[in-house]
Chain A
Amino acid sequence: MSDPDGGRGVSDALHDPTTADSRGGQRYPGSDGARDLPLETYVLSVNGRDLPVDDAWVGENLLYVLRERLGQPGSKNACEQGECGSCSVLMDGAVVASCCVLAADAVGSAITTVEGLTGEGELSDVQRAFIDQGAVQCGFCIPGMIVALTDLLDRSPGASELEMREAISGNLCRCTGYGRIFAAFRQVQQERAHARA
């Protein structure tokens, strides 16, 4: 608990919403110099750990808080309007776009990011299959793809081709590498079916 960001040393500037950051993406109202923003302090449950969020602007989205305050940069920021899926996380077991979740309202919910799908330094079968199938090109969409497909595989092991496509209909791959992503999904389905047999 004392080292919530895992020693990544998120800069103090990024902790201060009134100094408007350009890296995190979210456009802070403090960028016009206002310093009267009310700040909130709360605790989020991320990957099984309770992590304190101190002096955060109430409007911060969960993606920003995960990346810039809690040292969990696996979830990616692209569109900030729920269109691209690169920020997908599990919230109480459901896939959501973390950019569209008010972080201060995620209190009490179990949040799982791509970092939390396996133990430190381990790869899940889904991640391994993405490597095996060469499903990663630029890689930016991949954490969101992994989260969304992990959810589908856990929820619906025998999911059809159509269900798979629908499950990642909100995850955009600008490299258009969908074919190998589908192949990775099928590999995991076959591996898990074999393991069950």
Chain B
Amino acid sequence: MSVIARPSTLQDAFDALDALPDAHLLAGGTDFMVEVNFGHRRPPAVVAIRRVPQLQGYEIRADEVDIGAAVTWTTIERELAGELPALAAAARTVGSPQMRNAATIGGNIATASPAGDGLPVLLAADATVVLASRQGERTVPFAGFVTGVKRTVLRPGEIITRVRVPRLTGPQEFLKVGTRNAMVISICCAALLVDRVGRTVRIGLGSVAPTPVRAPEAESYIGAEIDWDALFAPPEAVARFGELVRDAVRPITDHRGTAAYRSRAVQVIATRALERSLA
């Protein structure tokens, strides 16, 4: 029996997962293949889902963009910068052009790396994730989807089909610290989204905790300090925002950077992102 399935419908994908219960779900492969190439993973079976139509394409709606899980970062970078500026900016920092042409938003979510570039944006945007299984469909907030380092609430037999990202009115920034601009896993990153209608500032942070995190105290503090009509905040409030973001993270020391460096760097990029977003 073949141990790879290449389903072209969602039903075929569920059938394949029934037939190959040990199968690894494969989208773009850019995370998975590195593990396989280095012998860290030995897939007994693979269900390759990139051909499933329910995972394709995106739909721009009035209040959100509904993105198929198999949409690549190249597509998001090139086609969604107007609707989702921070997500498009994050897309541009994912790996290299070669990676972005293969790697998908659904794969980024499913891998759930602490350094996943798209994840802080989805967290800050209050995105939701649509999961499909034989039993039906459920929609879960992205906040809470990632439960730990490379751990998610995804159940056996479930497939991420869509990612729904709310559209906001206001400036957005994505900043990433690494050793070069291209082809780098972040030492830390920050997505800052201003919602001028809801009068909130949201910040999502990557590589500074086991999962992407928000900084709720920093967000509510700066939300109250901003003059929303002028979109202005005094410099000392902006600086305080950076300190509160720093205090919200729990970074570790690893081969990419020390905990102390990450705390400092995340403070700097949070402050800078806010400065760039305000008048």
Contact = CB atoms under 8 A, between A and B. Distances in A.
Contacts of B3: 38, 40, 58
Contact of A85 (B32, B74, B96): B96
A26 interface: yes
Interface in A70-126: 80-83, 85, 88, 91, 94-97, 99-102, 104-105, 107-108
Contact of B34 (A80, A148, A166): A80
Interface string B29-46: 110111011110011111
Given A94-B101, A107-B6, A170-B96, A27 B30 contact: no
Nearest to B39: A27
B96 A61 contact: no
Contacts of A26: 36-37
B6 A82 contact: no
A27 B4 contact: no
A148 B37 contact: no
A167 interface: yes
Interface residues of A, number: 36
B29 A100 contact: yes
A58 B26 CA distance: 12
A190 interface: no
A100 B182 contact: no
A170 B95 contact: yes
Nearest to A107: B6
Given A81-B38, A91-B102, 18 more contacts: A27-B37, A27-B38, A38-B3, A38-B44, A94-B102, A95-B98, A97-B98, A99-B37, A100-B34, A104-B4, A104-B46, A105-B46, A107-B6, A148-B98, A167-B97, A169-B183, A170-B96, A170-B183
